[in-house]
Structure 1
């Protein structure tokens, strides 16, 4: 394989459970072929993690379960792997770029000590509005997205109570928050964080496309659960949002591609400079 090809490691955090997320991520990644190649690593079932010398970009997926609890094996190795990537970036000119999604995002926030991860009072699921913060308005991850923009949200846990002194010390930034809910007293959850120039994460699912959501609704039990959770009117509105080109389609076509373009451009530029 040519050394000019940029290699992406997809860290599968789905614990062997059926999902649409990996299909969606692969679909987005394949848009950058033949510049890139990718390989999947089953983190939670097989405890697989890549050799960081062999890969340039990492996408760590969402997944089921409690982000606060691992089995004492894969989770310990996963956190050590994140630290190794971070250390690499502090010591090397050619950086490793990482995108954390949902479950992985919660684990990263916990690991870096940036905030508290708690169980929600109820499940958040469906098409949600995501609001950029002041820092998020200029973050390259969100370039081309409106404010607010729309994304698929699916979580029983949330990242809240940011430790601002830790954010400041690490140079991390909150770049988006969940929608404002005037009718409840709950704190707005953090929806995206710029951990470093090269590490970024989202609570929502930027990879999701309408096909993945409709596929989920083919499960009658899941469909009835969502309808009962939201009510008929909100459920119908959610289906309409799925078909709106400026909502889920736009996020799917924009956010991960932004991440990949930024990473690829940085890698190609740095490698070219070092080869001169």
Structure 2
């Protein structure tokens, strides 16, 4: 356990546009637990990106960019332009001789924005929304990525999206040195492409199209809401709804993912700030 007194500043970019969600609670929970477990001087500030056009500067050590509702094809909106400017600045920082480097995690809607930026695949509206605790499968040795260490193949995560990124463009991946790490479950009975679920965009940028911040308690509250329950049953059937509730009681599924992927990301990012000699990576 580290006792390094240096402040480590995290910028949390809220892309939910004022919509009630469990995602921001999940990030807060993980950051609080990580700070306590590692005895870190870790602080974080939330920026309401889409609703209030709030964006951080370059003074933060690492960045977490959330999921959010709706269409990711928002190039003409002012917040989107400023968001992409921030990404360009972070990328320039990491490509320069300046240290320490700044790690960024992109979740769901943010993942889709990055895929749009780098033209890594086709972004389209799904035939029907995807929602549930679903298996995610590694590809291309994705399980060896530092952020994925300790996850099984497949592992389980919350998938909640109406839009998707499919059909990876191999030339675009090669151009920026990106690597596809995981894809959604195989559905041999459905003739539809499998969505890209995790990408290492570069050494310091990683993203997931699922929600690694989701926890069983928050998900259960979400599912037990009468309106959400009926929505899930209408879209997926009562059997699928009951299966989701059952999976919440298995800690090796959703809880394991929540306590693995983002803490792995944080450990790598904090080690970057404190130095390779930091014992945080071993604790």
TM-score normalised per structure 2 = 0.92
**1:266 pairs with 2:272:** yes
Unaligned residue ranges in structure 2 (runs of 5+): 279-283
Give the number of equivalent residue pairs. 270
Counterpart for residue 281 of structure 2: none
1:61 maps to 2:51: no
Output one character per residue of 1:74-104: Cα deviation in whole Å (capped at 9) or x when no partner.
0010011111100110112310100000000
Q: What value does the CA root-mean-square deviation take over the aligned residues?
A: 1.6
**Pairing of 1:93-172 with structure 2 (within 5 A):** 93-172=99-178
What is the SS of the residue equivalent to 2:51?
A: helix
Cα distance in 2 for residues equivalent to 1:234 and 1:43: 34
Instruction: Tell me how far 1:70 sits from its aligned partner.
Output: 5.5
Distance 1:271 1:95, change over 3 A: farther
- 1:72 and 2:74 are equivalent in the alignment: no
Q: Is the 8 A contact 1:94 1:267 kept in 2?
A: yes
Task: State the SS of the aligned residue for 1:7.
Answer: strand
Q: CA deviation at 1:35?
A: 3.2
Correspondence for 2:20: 18
Instruction: Tell whether the 8 Å contact from 1:94 to 1:270 is kept in structure 2 after alignment.
Output: no
Q: C-alpha distance in 2, partners of 1:35/1:271?
A: 17
TM alignment of 1:80-95, pairs within 5 A: 80-91=85-96, 92-95=98-101
8 Å CA contact retained: 1:106, 1:158: yes
Alpha-carbon contact 2:183-2:194 (below 8 Å) kept: yes
Number of the residue aligned with 2:31? 29
The answer on 1:207 being equivalent to 2:213 is yes
TM-score, normalized by length of structure 1? 0.94
Give 1:266 shift: 2.0
User: 1:137 & 1:263 partners in 2: Cα distance?
Assistant: 18
Partner of 1:191: 197
- The answer for the alignment partner of 1:45 in structure 2 is 51
Provide closer, same or farther for how the CA distance between residues 269 and 30 of structure 1 changes in structure 2, counting only shifts above 3 A: same
Match of 2:230 in 1: 224
Is there any run of 5+ residues in structure 1 with no aligned partner, and where? none
Contact 1:135–1:173 (CA under 8 A) maintained in structure 2: no
CA contact 1:62–1:102 (8 Å) conserved in 2: yes
Q: Distance in 2 between matches of 1:270 and 1:90?
A: 19
1: CA distance between counterparts of 2:121 and 2:17?
24
Distance 1:207 1:70 in 2: 26
Query: What SS does structure 1 have at the residue aligned with 2:260?
Result: helix
Deviation at 1:71, TM superposition (A): 5.5
Name the stretch that deviates more: 260-269 or 250-259.
260-269
Query: Residue 156 of structure 1: SS of its match in structure 2?
Result: strand
Identify which range, 133-142 or 73-82, moves more after superposition: 133-142
